[in-house]
Amino acid sequence: MLRFGHMALPGPLKRFFCSIANATTVLLNPTERVITIKNATNEDKKMHFPLAWLRDNCPCPVCYSASSELRNLKMMDFCPRVNAVSVQMSEQSESMTVSWDDGHSSSYRLEWLRAVAFGADTAGRQRPPLTRNRPVLWCDASKATAPIWQPKKVRFEHIMKSDAELLLTLLELEERGLVLIEDCGVDSEVVKNICKRLSFPRTTHYGETFEMRAEAKPRNLGYTSDRLDFHTDLPYMHEQPGVQALLCQVQASGPGGDSLFADGFSAAEHIRRSRPDLFRLLTTVPVRFRDRGQLADRRFDLVATHATIELDCQPDGEWCYRRVHFSNQQRDLLQAWPLADVQLIYDALKAFNDVIEGRDISSDSSKVQLQVKLRSGEMALFDNSRLLHSRTGFSGERQLAGAYLLWDEVLSRRRTLESQLQIGRQD
């Protein structure tokens, strides 16, 4: 029998009243194993708490480590079918205490319960913050008259000295995929400094940072003066770096050497709307990438397999675009494709490239693609998991320095800055 003060009600639904002044009602449904808190003056405001979830998230020092903000309770000691023996609300309805049949007692602040309650949508889910903010497409196929997007420009000094400016830059990078940083200088150390300001540089087989210039015997197509196809960098890595920084140290004095960026998510959305059959192939068929060679005294042989377009499910149940993996030059000749599907897979890859290159007459390429000639001392900071990049051919000298970062670290930086600056995001 469940008790509250001197009052106990038999039956499958137990009801507890904490105080008339606050008009708060607590309901325990043993059958569905849920505790519900509601305001008697507003039936629509209900907060639901599954018993297993409440016990799992007991905030007492035995079950939770406040210093590490991690759970102490071990899964081997946790019973997901634990039952509530009694439920009590404090006199002022500031906290709820649950006694469990495993002998434990848990007290939860009502303010905390409001923040973590189930029932935020019709499916009764909680509403955790999104893992990352939803991308904003450069070209929204549903808005034919939308203006052409232009990238945010920010001064290097402002990013390095102002946390608020850094946060705005990271939000723009996360949502749009590209930020231009001006007045950086041309020293290679600038790239490393930017990376350390954002998070940490991701060391690859090219090193912590790298430089690109035309070479007589190029180790990579980027080390030529030819035009490059649109591509994402390092698709042959399972943990493909998600952010890239490219600093222009020396720009070609004559025509050419322009950097081109294309929004892979906008292109994917166009394919989804116009050719759902090809979109299915691009999101499900694994494509194998490979790159091998020698840098300094070490050989490398990197292989990974990805779908061309990778989708993600957000905590609210909605899906969104997560990654694009595309590089015609580094796509391996060996693929595990069914013989009957090979032609259609090539058709899908070609269709995607046509949208990126602006050769699909049914798409507005001017809103998918952006062309900019970086000046010496200017840096492009972009989402390598979303944007495909390219370069026009050039003659003469041109040199860039670059580095990679992981999105996990960059997103961590954004969240800690929001917390530090006490800025809340509405997801």
DSSP-derived letter for residue 7 is B
Which pLDDT score is estimated for 250? 94
Clarify whether residues 220 and 343 are in a common domain. Answer: yes
**Any domain includes 185:** yes
Three-state SS letters, 295-325: ECCEEEEEEEEEECEEEEECCCCCEEEEEEC
Clarify whether residues 166 and 42 are in a common domain. Answer: no
Of 12-21, 356-365, 366-375, least confident by mean pLDDT is 12-21
**Any domain includes 130:** no
Return d(Cα 211, Cα 253) in angstroms, integer. 19
Clarify whether residues 110 and 160 are in a common domain. Answer: no
DSSP-derived letter for residue 223 is G
Classified as helix, coil or strand, 206 is: coil
Q: What is the mean pLDDT of residues 211-226?
A: 74
Flag whether pLDDT at 324 surpasses 90: yes
Return d(Cα 161, Cα 248) in angstroms, integer. 22
Clarify whether residues 96 and 190 are in a common domain. Answer: no
**Any domain includes 427:** no
Average pLDDT taken over every residue of the chain: 88
Give the pLDDT band of residue 8 (cuts 50, 70, 90). Answer: very low
- The CATH number of residue 98's host domain is 3.30.2020.30
- Tens of pLDDT, residue by residue over 31-90, are 999 999 987 666 667 899 999 999 999 999 999 999 999 999 999 999 999 999 999 988
Bridge-based pairing of strands 152-155 and 178-182 is parallel
Domain end, chosen from 116, 142, 161, is at: 116
Which pLDDT score is estimated for 18? 44
CB atoms within 10 A of CB 372: 15
Taking CA atoms, 236 is separated from 233, 305, 373, 387, in Å, by 9, 7, 28, 16
**Any domain includes 133:** no
Torsion region of 296: left, alpha or beta (phi above 0 gives left; psi -120 to 50 gives alpha): left
Flag whether pLDDT at 320 surpasses 80: yes
Flag whether pLDDT at 3 surpasses 80: no
CB atoms within 10 A of CB 359: 12
Which pLDDT score is estimated for 204? 95
Give the count of domains, the chain: 2
293-316: burial string, b at 16+ Cβ within 10 Å, e else: eeeeeeeeebebbbbbbeeeeeee
Flag whether pLDDT at 206 surpasses 50: yes
Give the pLDDT band of residue 92 (cuts 50, 70, 90). Answer: confident
Q: What is the mean pLDDT of residues 391-406?
A: 94
Of 104-108, 162-166, 215-219, 273-277, least confident by mean pLDDT is 215-219
Please, what is the angle between helix 163-176 and helix 189-198, to 10°?
90
Clarify whether residues 366 and 283 are in a common domain. Answer: yes
**Any domain includes 137:** no
Clarify whether residues 87 and 167 are in a common domain. Answer: no
**Any domain includes 143:** no
Clarify whether residues 179 and 297 are in a common domain. Answer: yes
Clarify whether residues 105 and 210 are in a common domain. Answer: no
Classified as helix, coil or strand, 282 is: helix
Q: Which of 208, 263, 214, 255 is nearest to 390 (CA)?
A: 263
**Any domain includes 139:** no
Clarify whether residues 206 and 89 are in a common domain. Answer: no
- The CATH number of residue 179's host domain is 3.60.130.10
Give residue 93's domain range: 14-116
Give the pLDDT band of residue 142 (cuts 50, 70, 90). Answer: low
Clarify whether residues 80 and 197 are in a common domain. Answer: no
**Any domain includes 124:** no
Flag whether pLDDT at 406 surpasses 90: yes
Q: Which of 303, 328, 296, 323 is nearest to 312 (CA)?
A: 323
Q: What is the mean pLDDT of residues 103-108?
A: 97
Which pLDDT score is estimated for 25? 84
Domain end, chosen from 116, 140, 163, is at: 116
Q: Which of 243, 257, 181, 154 is nearest to 212 (CA)?
A: 257
The more confident residue out of 150 and 403 is 403
- Tens of pLDDT, residue by residue over 263-312, are 999 999 999 999 999 999 999 999 999 999 988 888 999 999 999 999 98
Clarify whether residues 67 and 171 are in a common domain. Answer: no
Clarify whether residues 174 and 101 are in a common domain. Answer: no
